[in-house]
Chain A
Amino acid sequence: MQNLSRIGITGLGVICAIGNNADEVLYSLKKGVSGIGPVRYLQTRHTEIPVGEVKLSNREMADMLGLERDRLYSRTSLMGAISIRQALRQTGIRSLAGKRVAVISGTTVGVMDLVENFRPQILRGEIPDNIPSGNECGHSTREMAEFAGIPQAQCCTISTACSSALNSIITGCEMLQRDEADIVIAGGSEALSRFHLNGFNSLMILDKKRCRPFDATRAGLNLGEGAAFVVMQKNPTDALSYVAGYGNRCDAFHQTASSENGDGAFLAMSDALSMAGLRPEDIGYVNAHGTGTPDNDISESRAIRRLFKDTVPPVSSTKAFTGHTTSASGSIEAVICILAIRHGFLPANLGWKNLIEGGIRPTNGKKGVALKYAMCNSFGFGGNDSSIILSGDEFGLQYADGDFAVETLADEKVCDVESFGQLKEYVSPMESRRMGKLMKAAILSAFKALKISGTECPDAIITGTSHGMQETGNRFLDDIIANGEELLSPTLFMQSTHNTIGSSIAIRTGCHGYNITYSQGDDSLGWALKDAREKIRSGRARTVLVGCYDESSEGVDARTLILGRK
């Protein structure tokens, strides 16, 4: 059975390097004004690396929100709250009383911009008030809701690296389709931090000049920061745009690299198109992920060519304007797509000159374009690839709705390092050599559960974690301090994201299916289980691997369940 309901975007808010609200962002896009420049607000020794900062201090943002000036804030929470407020204001909804409101935010480094300044104190056991002890993504979402004046909202955080915000919008669509909320505010926020600036630098994928996506001379990305949120409602009387289709897939190839032909990207775009029931030629514009790294842009080019063949629509990456806003990029670029549809223009692939051999030829921008459907791509480390199609006109969004019974096929826990010897049965020493304790426990529990349930490759992988990869993340943070932001190990950074475990299992099982990571404190497993049950109940998956992983300095705790259809 297929249900159809209209999922309308009734308000949007955005803050990034090219503007503090949608009007300013629209102006910069149309005028071709980039927000990339020398670092000003982030305290870093790497002043040679250009960035896309939001042009406001923390104090200025706190003032905008009417918050206490003298408190310390994470920019992630401040930017998120500012864009949530803008989005709510645009809807014209006067009162949220009696309405079920959900805030779904995508982030990876969360409040790291604040926490990293207190790492020496935290190590001495002196944790100041209002400073979380680690990288708890869910903390920033709760703060955003509070700062935006909606502390009653249900909070959920998605952490799939750079596709987090787009996956938040997808998750929001499904919550509305299932009638779990009346108003969903979905998007993402990510502040620049020394942690991930140095992390990307250790991977040698930062350009020292303005990034040049899809250009033969591209030499990497520029990091940016920002937030964007959309208010979504089911069957609203009027909306700015409607969600027509989406896809969430996994490249299942490598922790930081894209597969040669962009398998995950191709599958995500294909799913979005078939969900919308549209033909490739119906798409009027593609906002590409287009980071400017040698690897992403050729892989994404090939994926776009595979899907659109001879009818490649106008494509651009807007990252030479905003920088790569990592976890927020999916919602910032979805907002850019909505602005393009509403105002009839194609955003430029700023500064593009030289065609990549086998690459796509991006648009240098155009005004006066009637745009009906726009596609927005967002890909993340671990191969968490998602794509969404936005429509200017009313559109009925499909939702497969079966009623299958769900059963647990296996339930495995690994809580001690003594059992790590069993890992040899599943992964080679060459593969396990880089894994931290939590990764080892998680992989072991996952493969034991898969074996017990007789599942070679599940249809979907859903994980939950409160604090994520603390051991590797903290070691990287400590190295940044000890080495003065120089000579850092990429091995530590590449497995510091919260989705590392889910994507590692996908790589090892070859699972290209739905892949997501929830990070909402103690509720993380609850969100993961709910999603898994729903995927099976509705008939979109037969078997789902659900894992919940966390570690403290004293130990690890990994639990994997395999759920299946009865």
Chain B
Amino acid sequence: MNDDLILELKNQIIDALNLEELTPEDIDADAPLFGAGLGLDSIDALELIVILDKNYGIKLASPAEGKAIFKSVAAIAEYVAKNRSR
């Protein structure tokens, strides 16, 4: 299912989070983004919120709301597919 969207998101994440040493293949779509997995932090979570707003018209009210959505790239893709306005 969301394969194209997953790839699109991976590229956006690499770009916005300055992960230029990674390729989309290096990111496991089902692996955790924060903590043990990719090792992102609270500032990255804010950048992800900007990505959702800028590219998909999804506005989150608080970083806490993001926490539930940003579990993995696949989880973000699922949320975007359901809630996107562009």
**Is the A/B pair a real complex?**
yes
Which residues of chain A have a CB within 8 Å of any CB of chain B?
202-204, 219, 254-257, 429-430, 433-434, 487-491, 494
Interface majority SS on B: helix, strand, loop or mixed? helix
B interface bracket (residues with beta carbon within 8 Å of A): 10 to 19
Is B23 part of the contact surface with A, judged by Cβ < 8 Å? no
Query: Could you show 25 A-B contacts with beta carbons less than 8 Å apart?
Result: A203-B46, A204-B46, A204-B62, A204-B63, A219-B62, A254-B41, A254-B42, A255-B43, A256-B42, A256-B43, A257-B42, A429-B21, A433-B18, A433-B19, A433-B20, A434-B43, A487-B53, A487-B54, A489-B47, A489-B50, A490-B50, A491-B17, A491-B18, A491-B47, A494-B43
B4-42 vs A, CB cutoff 8 Å, 1 = contact: the mask equals 000000000000111111000000000000000001011
Report A-chain residues with C-beta under 8 Å of the C-beta of B42. 254, 256-257
Bound CA span A203–B50, Å: 11
Asked if B47 contacts A204 (CB within 8 A), the reply is no
B39-70 vs A, CB cutoff 8 Å, 1 = contact: the mask equals 10111001101100110000000110000000
A256: nearest chain-B partner, CB-CB: B43
**How distant is A45 from chain B, measured CB to nearest CB, in Å?**
15
Asked if B53 contacts A490 (CB within 8 A), the reply is no
Report B-chain residues with C-beta under 8 Å of the C-beta of A254. 41-42
**How distant is B7 from chain A, measured CB to nearest CB, in Å?**
21
Q: Which of B20, B42, B49 has the most CB of A within 10 A?
A: B42
Report B-chain residues with C-beta under 8 Å of the C-beta of A204. 46, 49, 62-63
Cβ-defined partner of A488 (8 Å) among B21, B39, B43, B50: B50
B65: nearest chain-A partner, CB-CB: A204
B54: nearest chain-A partner, CB-CB: A487
Bound CA span A65–B14, Å: 52
Bound CA span A490–B40, Å: 14
Cβ-defined partner of A202 (8 Å) among B16, B46, B54: B46
Cβ-defined partner of A430 (8 Å) among B39, B47, B53: B39
Q: Which of A255, A256, A257, A430 has the most CB of B within 10 A?
A: A430
Report B-chain residues with C-beta under 8 Å of the C-beta of A256. 42-43
Report A-chain residues with C-beta under 8 Å of the C-beta of B46. 202-204, 490
Bound CA span A491–B47, Å: 8
A428: nearest chain-B partner, CB-CB: B39
Report A-chain residues with C-beta under 8 Å of the C-beta of B49. 204
Asked if B50 contacts A487 (CB within 8 A), the reply is yes
Report B-chain residues with C-beta under 8 Å of the C-beta of A487. 50, 53-54
Bound CA span A257–B46, Å: 13
Q: Which of A204, A256, A434, A487 has the most CB of B within 10 A?
A: A204
Bound CA span A433–B17, Å: 8
Bound CA span A254–B41, Å: 10
Bound CA span A257–B62, Å: 16
Give the 8 A-B CB pairs with smallest separation, nearest first.
Answer: A433-B18, A490-B46, A487-B54, A429-B21, A487-B50, A204-B63, A434-B18, A490-B43
**How distant is A225 from chain B, measured CB to nearest CB, in Å?**
24
B44: nearest chain-A partner, CB-CB: A491
**How distant is A494 from chain B, measured CB to nearest CB, in Å?**
6
Bound CA span A430–B33, Å: 13
Report B-chain residues with C-beta under 8 Å of the C-beta of A202. 46, 50
Bound CA span A25–B10, Å: 52
Report B-chain residues with C-beta under 8 Å of the C-beta of A489. 16, 47, 50
**How distant is B40 from chain A, measured CB to nearest CB, in Å?**
9
**How distant is B44 from chain A, measured CB to nearest CB, in Å?**
8
Bound CA span A204–B50, Å: 11
Report A-chain residues with C-beta under 8 Å of the C-beta of B63. 204
Report A-chain residues with C-beta under 8 Å of the C-beta of B41. 254
Bound CA span A491–B41, Å: 11
Asked if B47 contacts A490 (CB within 8 A), the reply is yes
Report B-chain residues with C-beta under 8 Å of the C-beta of A490. 43, 46-47, 50
Asked if B54 contacts A491 (CB within 8 A), the reply is no
Bound CA span A491–B18, Å: 10
**How distant is A436 from chain B, measured CB to nearest CB, in Å?**
10
Bound CA span A254–B43, Å: 10
Report A-chain residues with C-beta under 8 Å of the C-beta of B20. 433
**How distant is B5 from chain A, measured CB to nearest CB, in Å?**
20
Report A-chain residues with C-beta under 8 Å of the C-beta of B39. 430
**How distant is B61 from chain A, measured CB to nearest CB, in Å?**
9
A295: nearest chain-B partner, CB-CB: B42
Bound CA span A429–B20, Å: 10
**How distant is B74 from chain A, measured CB to nearest CB, in Å?**
22
A430: nearest chain-B partner, CB-CB: B39
Bound CA span A403–B78, Å: 66
Report B-chain residues with C-beta under 8 Å of the C-beta of A491. 17-18, 43, 47
B21: nearest chain-A partner, CB-CB: A429
Q: Which of A257, A429, A490 has the most CB of B within 10 A?
A: A490
Report B-chain residues with C-beta under 8 Å of the C-beta of A255. 43
Report A-chain residues with C-beta under 8 Å of the C-beta of B43. 255-256, 434, 490-491, 494
Report B-chain residues with C-beta under 8 Å of the C-beta of A494. 43
**How distant is A291 from chain B, measured CB to nearest CB, in Å?**
16
Bound CA span A491–B16, Å: 9
**How distant is A429 from chain B, measured CB to nearest CB, in Å?**
5
**How distant is A484 from chain B, measured CB to nearest CB, in Å?**
12
Bound CA span A429–B43, Å: 16
Report B-chain residues with C-beta under 8 Å of the C-beta of A429. 21
Bound CA span A429–B26, Å: 15
A204: nearest chain-B partner, CB-CB: B63
Bound CA span A255–B50, Å: 19
Report A-chain residues with C-beta under 8 Å of the C-beta of B19. 433
Q: Which of B17, B18, B53, B63 has the most CB of A within 10 A?
A: B18
**How distant is B67 from chain A, measured CB to nearest CB, in Å?**
12
Report B-chain residues with C-beta under 8 Å of the C-beta of A488. 50
